[in-house]
Amino acid sequence: MMTQTEIIMLLAPIMILQSTVLFVSAKKRGRNAWFWGIWGLIQCPMPAVLYWLIVLKPFKKKKRGEN
């Protein structure tokens, strides 16, 4: 069984990476970067899943439709 310290040491880098990726991507697209970055630090993996559904998926459809 993992101790509480081991769990935190495992999850902390994952949460920080998720938060950074969401922040940078949202900032690039002009979509509430601070909201996505902070939410990415609080939970895992729901912010990433919802970001994909709300921001990335409609963005890809819009790009295809422009051509």
**How many domains, the chain?**
1
What pTM, to 2 d.p., does this model score? 0.79
pLDDT of 13: 95
Residue 27 structural domain:
17-66
pLDDT of 59: 67
Asked, for residue 44, whether it belongs to a domain, the answer is yes
Asked, for residue 10, whether it belongs to a domain, the answer is no
Six-digit token pair at 22? Answer: 């969401």
pLDDT of 58: 77
Render pLDDT for 28-67 as a digit per residue (tens, 0 to 9).
999 999 999 999 999 988 999 999 998 888 766 666 556 5
Asked, for residue 4, whether it belongs to a domain, the answer is no
Asked, for residue 49, whether it belongs to a domain, the answer is yes
Asked, for residue 34, whether it belongs to a domain, the answer is yes
Asked, for residue 6, whether it belongs to a domain, the answer is no
